[in-house]
C-alpha cells in the first residue's frame, strides 16, 4: 500500500516535547512517507526530537507568538523541504487560573500562543500552499472549547480554543476554492506532559473513569486523527471540528 503522505511535506508546530501531540504527529506523518519540519521554541528538545525522526527531516526554533519568526521559519523550512503541503498547528499553552486572578500578561500569553500563533502560522504558510495548488491545514483545539474549560484549562484557555473553531471554519470557507482544506481536532483529556505534572496518577484514574472508553487519550490517538485530515482520505473534508475524546461528549 502506498503511504498516505508519500511525497508530501509538512510543517508541525509545538513538535519537540517528548510526549507531545506535535511530535506524535511528526512520527506518524514520517511513517506515512512525509518529510517533516518541526517548529518549537525549545532548542534542546527540538534537537532531541530530530534525532528520533532522522536525517530526512528538519527543525527550526520558532516562537509562534512572533509573526516575523513564523515567517522566517516557514521560509527556511520551505526551502529545505522543497515546498509545503501540510501545516499542523499544535503549539499550545494551558493555564487554570480563576477569571478574577488572570493577569493581563497571562491572558495575552494564553491567547497569543493558542489562537494568535495559529493565525501567524497560517498566514506564513498559505502562500506556499497556493504555490502548490492546494494543501491541508490541521489546527489543534481542545474539548475545553466545547465545555468552557474543565480539567486544567479555564476561561482564557477555553476562549482561545473555541476561537480556533471559528478561525478554522472561516479560512476553510475562504480557501476551499483554491484547494486548501482547513480542519480542527478537539482532543479530550490526554495522558501526556502538557499540564506539566498537574495530572497526578490519582486524577488520571478519576478522569478516565468518566470517559466511556475507560481511558485517557494518547498523543498517538490525536496524531491519527490529524493524519486522516492531512491526507487525501479527507479530500472532501474541510471546515470540520473532529472531536477525539473517547466518547466523553456523546450527545
Residues 151-162 pLDDT 10s: 668 999 999 999
Report yes or no: 18 and 48 within 8 Å, Cβ to Cβ. Answer: yes
Query: Taking the domains of the chain in order of start, what are their residue ranges?
Result: 9-241
Report yes or no: 207 and 151 within 8 Å, Cβ to Cβ. Answer: yes
Per-residue pLDDT at 250: 87
In this structure, of 127-136, 151-160, 216-225, 235-244, the range with the lowest mean pLDDT score is: 151-160
Residue 11 phi, psi dihedral angles, 5° rounding? -110, 130
Q: What is the pLDDT of residues 12-69, one digit of tens each?
A: 999 999 999 999 999 999 999 999 999 999 999 999 999 999 889 999 999 999 999 9
Report yes or no: 12 and 26 within 8 Å, Cβ to Cβ. Answer: yes
CA R_g for the chain: 17
CB atoms within 10 A of CB 185: 28
Bridge partners (DSSP) of residue 166 are: none
Share of the chain above pLDDT 70, in %: 96
- Does the pLDDT of residue 192 top 90, yes or no? no
Bridge partners (DSSP) of residue 203 are: none
Q: Which three cell numbers stand for residue 109?
A: 500569553
In this structure, of 147-151, 159-163, 170-174, 230-234, the range with the lowest mean pLDDT score is: 147-151
Per-residue pLDDT at 227: 98
- Does the pLDDT of residue 196 top 80, yes or no? no
Fold of 9-241: Rossmann fold (3.40.50)
3-state secondary structure 152-210: CCCHHHHHHHHHHHHHHHHHHHHHHHHCEEEEEEEECCECCCCCCCCCCHHHHHHHHHC
Report yes or no: 144 and 185 within 8 Å, Cβ to Cβ. Answer: no
* Cα 239 to Cα 250: distance, rounded to the nearest angstrom: 20
- 228 part of the active site: no
* Cα 163 to Cα 186: distance, rounded to the nearest angstrom: 12
User: Residue 85: in which H helix or E strand, if any?
Assistant: none
Per-residue pLDDT at 94: 94
Share of the chain above pLDDT 90, in %: 88
* Cα 58 to Cα 46: distance, rounded to the nearest angstrom: 10
Handedness of CA 218, 220, 221, 225 (dihedral sign): positive
Per-residue pLDDT at 153: 81
- List of residues 6+ apart from 103 with CB closer than 8 A: none
Per-residue pLDDT at 198: 64
Mean pLDDT of the chain: 95
Amino acid at each position: 500500500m502506498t503511504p498516505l503522505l508519500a511525497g508530501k511535506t509538512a510543517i508541525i508546530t509545538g513538535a519537540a516535547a517528548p510526549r507531545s501531540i506535535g511530535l506524535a504527529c511528526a512520527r506518524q506523518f514520517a511513517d506515512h512517507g512525509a518529510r517533516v519540519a518541526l517548529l518549537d521554541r525549545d532548542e534542546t528538545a527540538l534537537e532531541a526530537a530530530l534525532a528520533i525522526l532522522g536525517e530526512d527531516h528538519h527543525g527550526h526554533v520558532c516562537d509562534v507568538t512572533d509573526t516575523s519568526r513564523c515567517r522566517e521559519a516557514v521560509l527556511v523550512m520551505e526551502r529545505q523541504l522543497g515546498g509545503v503541503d501540510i501545516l499542523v498547528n499544535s503549539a499550545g499553552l494551558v493555564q487554570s487560573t480563576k477569571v478574577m486572578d488572570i493577569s493581563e500578561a497571562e491572558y495575552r500569553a494564553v491567547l497569543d500562543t493558542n489562537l494568535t500563533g495559529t493565525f501567524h502560522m497560517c498566514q506564513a504558510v498559505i502562500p506556499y500552499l497556493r504555490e502548490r495548488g492546494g494543501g491541508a491545514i490541521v489546527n489543534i483545539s481542545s474539548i475545553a472549547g466545547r465545555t468552557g474549560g474543565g480539567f486544567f484549562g479555564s476561561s482564557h484557555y477555553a476562549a482561545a480554543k473555541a476561537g480556533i473553531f471559528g478561525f478554522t471554519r472561516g479560512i476553510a470557507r475562504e480557501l476551499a476554492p483554491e484547494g486548501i482544506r482547513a480542519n480542527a481536532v478537539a482532543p479530550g483529556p490526554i495522558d501526556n506532559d502538557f499540564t506539566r505534572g498537574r495530572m497526578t496518577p490519582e486524577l488520571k484514574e478519576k478522569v478516565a473513569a468518566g470517559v466511556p472508553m475507560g481511558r485517557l487519550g494518547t498523543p498517538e490517538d490525536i496524531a491519527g486523527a490529524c493524519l486522516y485530515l492531512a491526507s487525501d482520505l479527507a479530500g472532501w473534508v474541510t471546515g470540520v471540528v473532529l472531536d477525539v475524546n473517547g466518547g466523553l461528549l456523546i450527545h
